[in-house]
């Protein structure tokens, strides 16, 4: 039936009940509790009888959603099916209890009622006394829907206030399954068995300088496992290291909700976090140990990011700290030798630099000379370069991912979706007076903390997944880089030197004209190297205790 014709007949004195309409209804509750389901049954019975009693109306089977909030319409299957059926022309009029049954979002309410009117379907919001077939209904709908939406905003503000009050009252909010603690009635107590693992993690990381993946393996070898009996997840260890609760501090404001309707959150910079010592949180490790572990964590993270962005890693000069004077046991320091044409990098014993030639007879070494020696050693070690390159690439390809990040992210998204559904049901219970404000606040605070923890885990997982994708894409680049490094197309590789060189010992019998070195690699040695600055043909490198070979031609 055409909306314009209906409005004309209503202006001529007819009521909506006098018109021949096909009528259906929409009912919804936001929880699956027994009392709410009974309420839903009552709604269905009431509207069915109400429609069938009208002589001019034709009853059309109603639409029902159970256990879903009105804040958004995205997951309300029956509601969306009703909209689709309306557009298909299966009925003319919908009866529902109130605007909040459709949605508490002004945007959603107006959008759907306008779409329905465009398809000649009206809506009666019974408790609000709004019939969208009336010509002034849209204005009244905007006002009423705006009020409903504002109630959600006010409730959000009240929840934030309650959250702050709970903190002031010494109630510890957040994850109920925090490793190392037992939690009951918002009070944390130390779980002795789990706390032992937490202390071990901090000791391995801060005192023994182990990496997180290595810590996971060590814990497993020592018999410490997760609650499911598996090796500790890398993410779990990271969260333990970075959680201030373990030193007895409270931490909040890690994230903020940008829009209470969409629930979109942003993560705050660490400078904006709210952190302070909290007497209600028993410390498992000392503040000094926690601070030291986190300083190391930040330093390592910064180095890794710098390395991934293409910047040089922490050792800028590959020979720094690795050239040792046998006579004094001191290291050689870097110096730039400048001339009218250019400048060259060289290395001098610290004693010589401080006290002069009379104090140390060790000669000065030039970086170019050291590079030639290292290139000669590499050439002897890598007779079959392609075999070496193939072996490295094979190892990289064979390294299994420790986690299926896509599956983990999907699982967390499902957990987060379930939490939001619980929050929506809880809100509906509070609005309808089924639970007290105090109970609502306590339960909602718990949901908020769980949701924040899940979102933080998802951010870390996404970052880890991105690293894995970058590694796969760069595999061929790694192959090409190895080819260049092992054939020295771009000169000697400082990264390669840093990776395999342990130290270079300048022998006591070295002179300015003839330099003798012992070169120790991280996987063996030493190698013996000597070069004559007067007669370059006498230069050689060889594993110690072998005959001379591999002469080095100086240029």
The pLDDT tens digits of the residues spanning 358-403 come to 889 899 999 888 988 888 887 777 666 666 666 666 655 554 454 5
Beta-bridge partners for 505? 324, 518
- CB under 8 A, 24+ apart: contacts of 287-296: 287/247, 287/248, 287/249, 289/202, 289/203, 289/206, 289/207, 289/247, 290/202, 290/244, 290/246, 290/247, 291/247, 292/206, 293/202, 293/205, 293/206, 293/241, 294/241, 294/242, 296/205, 296/206, 296/209
Whole-angstrom CA distances from 151 to 181, 258, 275, 427 are: 37, 17, 31, 11
Query: Of the candidates 241, 276, 308, which is a domain's last residue?
Result: 308
Question: CB-hemisphere CA count at 13 Å for 244?
Answer: 14
Q: Are residues 409 and 347 in the same domain?
A: no
Query: Whose structure tokens read 């870097």?
Result: 334
Q: Are residues 409 and 294 in the same domain?
A: no
> How many whole angstroms separate alpha carbon 195 and alpha carbon 285?
9
pLDDT band at 306 (very low <50, low <70, confident <90, very high): low
Average the pLDDT over 174-189 and give the result.
Answer: 73
Question: CB-hemisphere CA count at 13 Å for 231?
Answer: 14
More confident residue, 123 or 313: 123
Residues 6 or more apart whose CB falls under 8 angstroms from that of 285 comprise 198, 199, 202, 246, 247
Query: Whose structure tokens read 């959250």?
Result: 163
Answer whether the bond into residue 46 is a cis peptide, omega within 30°: no
- Give the pLDDT confidence score for residue 33 in this predicted structure: 45
447 within a domain of the structure (yes/no): yes
406 within a domain of the structure (yes/no): yes
Q: Are residues 28 and 116 in the same domain?
A: yes
Burial of residue 126 (CB within 10 Å: 0-12, 13-18, 19+) is middle
pLDDT band at 158 (very low <50, low <70, confident <90, very high): low
What is the share, in percent, of the chain residues with pLDDT greater than 90? 19
Strands (E), 51-164: 57-59, 63-66, 93-96, 122-125, 130-131
303 within a domain of the structure (yes/no): yes
Phi first, then psi: give them for residue 208, nearest 5 degrees: -100, 0
Tokens of 52: 């069938």
Write down the mean pLDDT value for the chain: 77
395 within a domain of the structure (yes/no): no
Residues 6 or more apart whose CB falls under 8 angstroms from that of 487 comprise 385
pLDDT surpassing 50 at residue 552: no
553 within a domain of the structure (yes/no): no
Lowest mean pLDDT among 102-111, 256-265, 372-381, 410-419: 256-265
> How many whole angstroms separate alpha carbon 540 and alpha carbon 552?
6
> How many whole angstroms separate alpha carbon 67 and alpha carbon 69?
7
- Give the pLDDT confidence score for residue 34 in this predicted structure: 44
Q: Are residues 287 and 263 in the same domain?
A: yes
> How many whole angstroms separate alpha carbon 287 and alpha carbon 249?
9
> How many whole angstroms separate alpha carbon 120 and alpha carbon 186?
54
Please report the sign of the dihedral spanned by the C-alpha atoms of residue 543, residue 546, residue 550, residue 552: positive
Q: Are residues 103 and 32 in the same domain?
A: yes
- Give the pLDDT confidence score for residue 172 in this predicted structure: 46
Q: Are residues 191 and 72 in the same domain?
A: no
CB 91 within 8 A of CB 121: yes
Domain enclosing residue 438, as ranges: 401-479
Q: Are residues 375 and 405 in the same domain?
A: no
358 within a domain of the structure (yes/no): yes
Q: Are residues 131 and 271 in the same domain?
A: no
Domain count, the chain: 4
Reported as a single tens digit per residue, the pLDDT across 290-300 is: 999 999 998 88
- Give the pLDDT confidence score for residue 54 in this predicted structure: 93
Q: Are residues 357 and 467 in the same domain?
A: no
Q: Are residues 247 and 365 in the same domain?
A: no
Query: Of the candidates 153, 172, 197, which is a domain's last residue?
Result: 153
**Rounded to 5°, angle at Cα 297 from 295 and 300:** 110
488 within a domain of the structure (yes/no): no
Lowest mean pLDDT among 169-173, 340-344, 376-380: 169-173
> How many whole angstroms separate alpha carbon 334 and alpha carbon 321?
9
Q: Are residues 34 and 116 in the same domain?
A: yes
Q: In what order do the strands lie in the sheet with 540-543?
A: 323-325, 501-506, 514-521, 524-532, 540-543
pLDDT surpassing 60 at residue 257: no
More confident residue, 425 or 18: 18
Domain of 225: which CATH number? 3.90.1750.20
CB 63 within 8 A of CB 100: no
Query: Whose structure tokens read 């639409």?
Result: 63
Q: Are residues 256 and 348 in the same domain?
A: no
Average the pLDDT over 407-412 and give the result.
Answer: 81
Residues 6 or more apart whose CB falls under 8 angstroms from that of 94 comprise 23, 24, 25, 26, 82, 86, 116, 121, 122, 123, 124
Query: Of the candidates 456, 479, 502, which is a domain's last residue?
Result: 479
In this structure, the chain runs to a length of: 555
144 within a domain of the structure (yes/no): yes
Lowest mean pLDDT among 139-153, 213-227, 351-365: 139-153
Domain of 139: which CATH number? 3.40.50.1390
User: Looking at the whole model, is its pTM more than 0.75?
Assistant: no
């Amino acid at each position: 039936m055409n909306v314009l014709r209906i409005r004309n007949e209503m202006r001529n004195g007819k009521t909506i009940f006098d018109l021949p309409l096909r009528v259906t209804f929409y009912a919804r509750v936001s929880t699956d509790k027994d009392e709410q389901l009974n309420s839903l049954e009552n709604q269905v019975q009431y509207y069915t009888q109400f429609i069938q009693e009208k002589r001019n109306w034709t009853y059309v089977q109603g639409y029902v959603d159970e256990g879903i909030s009105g804040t958004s319409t995205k997951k309300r299957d029956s509601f969306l099916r009703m909209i689709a059926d309306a557009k298909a022309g299966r009925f003319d009029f919908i009866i529902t209890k109130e605007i909040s049954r459709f949605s508490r979002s002004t945007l959603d309410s107006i959008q759907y009622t306008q779409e329905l009117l465009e398809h000649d379907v009206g809506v009666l919001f019974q408790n609000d006394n709004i019939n969208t077939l009336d010509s002034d209904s849209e204005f009244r709908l905007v006002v009423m829907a705006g009020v409903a939406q504002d109630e959600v905003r006010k409730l959000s503000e009240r929840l934030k206030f309650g959250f702050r009050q709970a903190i002031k009252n010494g109630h510890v909010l957040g994850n109920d399954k925090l490793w190392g603690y037992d939690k009951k009635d918002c009070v944390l107590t130390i779980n002795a068995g789990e706390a032992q693992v937490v202390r071990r993690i901090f000791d391995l990381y801060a005192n023994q300088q182990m990496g997180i993946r290595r810590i996971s393996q060590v814990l497993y070898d020592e018999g410490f496992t997760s609650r499911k009996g598996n090796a500790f997840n890398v993410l779990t260890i990271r969260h333990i290291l970075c959680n201030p609760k373990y030193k007895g501090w409270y931490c909040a404001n890690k994230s903020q909700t940008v829009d209470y309707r969409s629930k979109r959150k942003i993560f705050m910079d660490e400078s904006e976090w709210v952190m302070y010592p909290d007497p209600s949180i028993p410390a498992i490790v000392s503040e000094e140990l926690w601070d030291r572990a986190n300083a190391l964590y930040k330093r390592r993270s910064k180095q890794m990011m710098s390395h991934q962005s293409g910047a040089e890693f922490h050792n800028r000069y590959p020979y720094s700290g690795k050239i040792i004077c046998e006579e004094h046991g001191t290291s050689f320091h870097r110096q730039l030798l400048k001339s009218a044409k250019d400048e060259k990098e060289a290395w001098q014993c610290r004693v010589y630099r401080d006290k002069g030639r009379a104090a140390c007879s060790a000669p000065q070494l030039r970086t170019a000379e050291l590079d030639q020696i290292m290139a000669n050693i590499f050439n002897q070690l890598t007779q079959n370069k392609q075999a070496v390159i193939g072996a490295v690439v094979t190892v990289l390809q064979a390294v299994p991912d420790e986690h299926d990040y896509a599956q983990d992210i999907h699982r967390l998204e499902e957990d987060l979706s379930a939490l939001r559904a619980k929050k929506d049901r809880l809100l509906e219970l509070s609005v309808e007076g089924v639970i007290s404000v105090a109970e609502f606040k306590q339960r909602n605070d718990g949901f908020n903390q769980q949701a924040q923890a899940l979102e933080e885990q998802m951010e870390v997982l996404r970052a880890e997944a991105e690293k894995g994708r970058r590694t796969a894409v760069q595999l061929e680049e790694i192959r090409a880089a190895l080819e260049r490094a092992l054939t020295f197309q771009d000169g000697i590789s400082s990264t390669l030197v840093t990776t395999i060189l342990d130290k270079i010992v300048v022998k006591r019998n070295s002179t300015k004209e003839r330099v003798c070195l012992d070169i120790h690699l991280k996987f063996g040695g030493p190698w013996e190297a000597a070069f004559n600055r007067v007669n370059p043909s006498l230069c050689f490198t060889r594993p110690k205790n072998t005959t001379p070979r591999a002469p080095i031609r100086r240029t």
